[in-house]
């Protein structure tokens, strides 16, 4: 590490510490805390690893310092310093703590009739992407249930629907939402003549319709 690089780093830390102190004195505390002790630890790290000024505020240096330092907030301290230096035109860009990459699961391809219904919901009903994904999830489970029990869509009965809904060990409001989403699919099946009977109207609550003799409501 060149002497000039070391001087620039130490001076930057001193200037940053003074800036934070002045913000606090004027009641304008920045969205950070004073990381002076951690940043002096960074000076030692930079010297030991012979890091030049141009390489100090990079993701690789940030990751290396995180592994080196015993301070839990080591990455945040370096990010805070880089933000100060960037705002004062002393480096080209500030550091950011890398976010973990989210693994996006591929969509499970459903039978054509299911996919057509989802396209109908997206194009004609213009539902949000989030709600469309909720519908897809319930249809994935519904399709798996029918396959596991070797039930054809055309042979659907209310007993099958009741048994499927009974598998959900969820809150009453959540089950009601699932039931509503499934009813929409059932109406579509009936409209497309995949079902001879509109089962959506029967899927309204507890599985009373699945009983051989549904309860009779007597008037007083």
Residue by residue, DSSP assigns the chain as --HHHHHHHHHHHHHHHHHHHHHHHTT---SS---HHHHHHHHHHHHHTT--GGGTTSHHHHHHHHHH-S-TTHHHHHHHHHHHHHHTTSSSS---PPPPPPPPPPPPPPPHHHHHHHHHHHHTS---HHHHHHHHHHHHHHHHHHHHTT--GGG--HHHHHHHHHT----HHHHHHHHHHHHHHHHHHHHTTS-SS--GGG-SSSS-TTSSSPPP----
For residue 2, pLDDT beyond 80: no
Per the model's pLDDT, the better-predicted residue between 21 and 216 turns out to be 21
The predicted-structure confidence for 84-122, as pLDDT tens digits, reads as follows: 999 999 999 988 887 766 666 778 899 999 999 999 998
pLDDT of amino acid 172? 86
Average pLDDT (140-153) is 95
Average pLDDT (142-155) is 94
pLDDT of amino acid 103? 65
Residue by residue, DSSP assigns 152-175 as -GGG--HHHHHHHHHT----HHHH
Instruction: Report how far residue 196's alpha carbon sits from residue 155's, in angstroms, rounded to the nearest whole number.
Output: 9
Average pLDDT (192-197) is 93
Per the model's pLDDT, the better-predicted residue between 209 and 77 turns out to be 77
Average pLDDT (204-210) is 57
pLDDT of amino acid 220? 40
High-pLDDT (> 70) share of the chain, %: 85
pLDDT of amino acid 97? 80
Q: Which domains does the chain have, with CATH numbers?
A: 3-87 (no CATH), 112-202 (1.10.150.130)
pTM: 0.50
Q: Binning pLDDT at 50, 70 and 90, where does residue 52 land? A: very high
């Amino acid at each position: 590490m060149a002497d000039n690089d070391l001087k620039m780093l130490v001076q930057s830390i001193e200037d940053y510490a003074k800036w934070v102190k002045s913000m606090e004195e004027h009641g304008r505390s920045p969205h950070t805390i004073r990381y002076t002790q951690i940043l002096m630890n960074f000076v030692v790290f930079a010297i030991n690893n012979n890091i030049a000024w141009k390489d100090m505020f990079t993701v690789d240096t940030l990751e290396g310092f995180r592994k080196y330092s015993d301070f839990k907030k080591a990455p945040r301290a370096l990010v805070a310093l880089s933000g100060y230096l960037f705002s004062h035109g002393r480096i080209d860009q500030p550091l950011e703590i890398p976010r973990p990459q989210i693994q996006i699961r591929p969509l499970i391809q459903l039978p054509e009739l299911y996919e057509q219904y989802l396209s109908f919901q997206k194009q004609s009903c213009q539902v949000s992407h989030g709600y469309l994904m909720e519908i897809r999830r319930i249809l994935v489970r519904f399709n798996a249930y029918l396959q596991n029990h070797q039930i054809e869509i055309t042979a659907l009965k209310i007993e099958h629907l009741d048994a499927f809904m009974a598998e959900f060990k969820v809150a009453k409001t959540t089950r009601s939402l699932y039931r509503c989403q499934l009813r929409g699919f059932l109406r579509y099946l009936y409209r497309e003549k995949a079902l001879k009977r509109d089962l959506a109207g029967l899927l309204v609550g507890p599985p009373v319709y699945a009983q051989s003799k549904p309860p009779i409501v007597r008037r007083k």
